[in-house]
Amino acid sequence: MRFTTRTTGLLAAPPPILVRAAARMHRAGTQARHARQGPRRTMIGVRLTDEQIEQLDWRANSEGLVTKAGEPNRSELIRIMIAYAEQNMPADWRPEGWRYVG
């Protein structure tokens, strides 16, 4: 791949922004080929202690939620727990006066 500018002609190396863009496009192409089938999953970030991770791993194993490599699939377990909470939690489940600070 050759990169040129109007004023100086040929560049010795591509600008970093083009390198990053090319890397993103490559990753997107790779992910598209290996993407799982079905609907897009929502990204959720959760901070957990080591004890909580161990509990989730134990529960994922006990429910048969394991990856192809045989590891506990805690991500899928958390998705199931959140979906259950969305369907079954009452609308006003938060304590009186509670406010999210984030």
Residue ranges of domains in the chain: 14-88
The mean predicted confidence, pLDDT, of the chain is: 78
The DSSP letter of residue 72 is: B
**Tally of residues, the chain:** 102
Q: How far, in Å, CA of 58 to CA of 65, rounded?
A: 10
Q: What is the pTM of this model?
A: 0.52
pLDDT digits (tens, 9 = 90+) for 48-87: 899 999 999 999 999 999 999 999 999 899 989 988 988 8
Q: Under a CB-based contact definition with an 8 Å cutoff, are residues 92 and 98 in contact?
A: no
Q: How far, in Å, CA of 99 to CA of 102, rounded?
A: 10
SS3 9: strand
